[in-house]
Amino acid sequence: MNLELDNKVAIITGGAKGIGEGITRAFAAEGAVAVILGRNADEAQAIIDDLAAQGQRADAFHAEMTCENDIKTAVSAILSQYGRIDVIVNNAGGNDAVGLRATPDQFATSLERNVVHYFTLAHYALDALIESGGNIVNIGSKTAETGQGNTSGYAAAKGAINALTREWALDLATVGVRVNCVVPAEVMTPLYERWLEKAPDPVRAREQLDRTVPLGHRTTTIAEIADTVAFIASARSSHTTGQIIYPDGGYVHLDRACTADTSHL
């Protein structure tokens, strides 16, 4: 299926690592110009070089995502370089374990790191998105629905992202800009792999994790998230807006206590 993303300019925040890297590669594979926005310059350049060797296009612009001026400057530089912005993928952030024992200042900082820059980037790129008839894909988290424990800041930010997705979709429907959210649950990123390796029995820990996912009893791959994002951002999903999409093997919405045991089949 041709997603009709050729020559589209897609900004992916945090696009040099983990799920973000997967999204960068998915857009580049579809012929888009995948623009990495973030602070990991060395990792971004390695991805750009690798994609160039495959005949694919990517670029990177530096921004500390908690700095409004960095984001404003980067948007201006991207527009100067490419003349358009077609897609924003708000992805940057991280689960920082800011729980109820954290200070209010730490909670506010967690929100800055995990949701405020979503608004800031959308704000400064808005006119370009309206001009191109583009769209926004926000990356959420299962924690907005399930909770996790000891992560008030991250969970609050991700809940806000779900709400902003619907709010922006309504706000921008009249100007032809779509807004959707893709929600990862249990995705086997390099960071997750390193965390599992710290378990007393990493193999058993991985098996137990896999069993919590109803479909296939396996974690979701980065590519499965990235391909969903590319499709939602493409012309093949041109009448989809305000949706919160869960490519998670049924993790969030199915009863794992029942589906983990397949002995009855």
Q: Is the pLDDT of residue 50 over 50?
A: yes
Enumerate the domain spans of the chain: 9-185+224-244, 186-219
Mean pLDDT calculated for residue range 45-59? 98
In angstroms, the CA 109 to CA 117 distance is 12
Q: What's residue 265's pLDDT?
A: 46
The CATH number assigned to the domain with range 9-185+224-244 reads: 3.40.50.720
Contacts of 54 (CB under 8 A, 6+ apart): none
Which helix (H) or strand (E) segment is 151 a member of? none
In angstroms, the CA 178 to CA 175 distance is 9
* CB 121 within 8 Å of CB 78: no
Inter-CA distances, 75 with 47, 132, 171, 175, Å: 21, 15, 21, 20
Q: Is the pLDDT of residue 5 over 90?
A: yes
Q: What's residue 191's pLDDT?
A: 83
Mean pLDDT calculated for residue range 71-95? 97
Which residues are tagged catalytic? 154
Mean pLDDT calculated for residue range 6-14? 98
Mean pLDDT calculated for residue range 42-52? 98
* CB 14 within 8 Å of CB 92: yes
Q: What's residue 157's pLDDT?
A: 98
Mean pLDDT calculated for residue range 213-232? 97
Mean pLDDT calculated for residue range 215-235? 97
Q: What pLDDT digit, counting tens, does each position of 133-183 carry?
A: 999 999 999 999 999 999 999 999 999 999 999 999 999 999 999 999 999
Rounded (5°) CA angle 118-28-162:
25
Q: What confidence tier does 264 reach under pLDDT thresholds 50, 70, 90?
A: very low
Closest CA to 178 of 219, 122, 124: 122
Q: What pLDDT digit, counting tens, does each position of 234-254 carry?
A: 999 999 999 999 999 999 999
